[in-house]
Amino acid sequence: MDPLSTLWETFFDWDSMRAALPEMLTVGLPNTLILAVSAALLGSVLGMLLAIAGISRTRWLRWPARVYTDVFRGLPAAATILLIGVGLAPLGMQVWGPNPYPLGILALSLIAAAYIGEIFRSGIQSVEAAQLEGARALGFSWGEAMRLVIIPQGIRRVLPAWVNQLIALIKDSSLVYFLGLVASQRELFRIGQDYAATTGNESALLLAGLFYLTLTVPLTHVVNWIDRRLRHGRPATAPVGDSDDLDPVLPDPRGGTPR
């Protein structure tokens, strides 16, 4: 058999794919989404707390945030998932019973938070100090100014980077299989791997890969679209009666707005 045919049969065996498809759809996809969405939410909340701690004037907040970020960014994701999933398993057993999901989600969230915290921090710090001064001059407290003016601008500036991290999270969700999942808990990758192991054909893994792509590629484009919308806002209305002033600096608001 020539190598090309072997390659084709190894990865593009439609029967193998058809066999794996129902389980991928009904078990793998929901589990991957549960893991990724839960970890994205928790990781983003923790990341925002880390970002705020990271820019705090208090070293007792800044330093722990720094150490946390260095540790969780520095460890391999698989090692962190194993350390937390296995290390905290006795504790998890008491709280959630024999379900590795909560610890898997926790581990993914803790890893994501380290990266998302840095993304948010860089976004917040990129907002000009004059914005804070402008908000404070109106009478907003530091907290209100941050919440209403600075953080929303900072997050908008790093939306694409944040989504990159969410994409990484979707892919990293496959690592929870280290924790030992029962059949109904398997995510996309694990199901693909199981089919590959039992049939000796990799097509189910390729199918799992296609599922990942259908999740991640549209996400990138959706966020780029949102990013463009947020950046440009609504088009300017036609000038009326501004005889003592000139009109827009940007004649075409869709043509690329400087921040």
Partner 1 sequence: MTIDTRTPVSLSVRDVHLSFGANRVLRGVDLDVARGATACVIGPSGSGKSTLLRTINRLIEPDRGDVLLDGRSVLRDDPDALRQRVGMVFQQFNLFPHMSVLRNITLALRRLRKLGEDEAVAVARTHLELVGLSAKADARPAHLSGGQQQRVAIARALALQPQVMLFDEATSALDPELVKGVLKLMAELSAGGMTMVVVTHEMGFAREVADTVAFMDHGVVIEVGAPGAIFEQARHPRLRRFLSQVL
Residues that bind partner 1 (CB under 8 A): 130-131, 133-141, 144, 148-149, 152-153, 156, 230, 232-242, 244-250, 253, 257-259
CB of 247 to partner 1, least distance (A): 6
| Residue 114, CA distances (Å) to 44, 74, 77, 138, 254 in order | 9, 10, 11, 34, 35
Closer residue to partner 1 in complex, CB, 94/237? 237
Nearest residue (CB) to partner 1, 30 versus 239: 239
- Secondary-structure breakdown of the chain: helix, strand, coil percentages, each rounded to the nearest 5: 80, 0, 20
Instruction: Tell the smallest beta-carbon distance from residue 222 to partner 1 (Å).
Output: 19
Identify the helix (H) or strand (E) that includes residue 126: helix 101-126
Amino acid 92 reads: G
Closest CB to partner 1 among residues 71, 137: 137
Q: Which is nearer to partner 1, 153 or 220 (CB)?
A: 153
- CB closer to partner 1, 70 vs 247: 247
Q: Which is nearer to partner 1, 19 or 135 (CB)?
A: 135
- Burial of 237 by CB count in 10 Å (0-12 exposed, 13-18 middle, 19+ buried)? exposed
Helical H segments across 200-233, by residue range? 203-232
Report the alpha-carbon distance of residue 257 to residue 254 in Å, rounded: 7
Closest CA to 223 of 154, 148, 167: 167
Output the smallest distance, CB 138 to partner 1, in A. 4
Closest contact distance (angstroms) between CB of 196 and partner 1 is 48
Least Å from the CB of residue 170 to partner 1: 28
Pairwise CA distance, residues 52 & 151, whole Å: 9
Shorter beta-carbon distance to partner 1: residue 120 or 211: 120
Contact status, residue 120 vs residue 47, Cβ threshold 8 Å: yes
Minimum CB separation of residue 63 from partner 1 in Å reads 24
CB 136 within 8 A of CB 142: yes
Closest approach, Cβ 149 to partner 1, in A, equals 5
User: Which tokens hold the place of 177?
Assistant: 């299989």
Q: What angle do CA 85, 89, 91 make, to 5 degrees?
A: 130
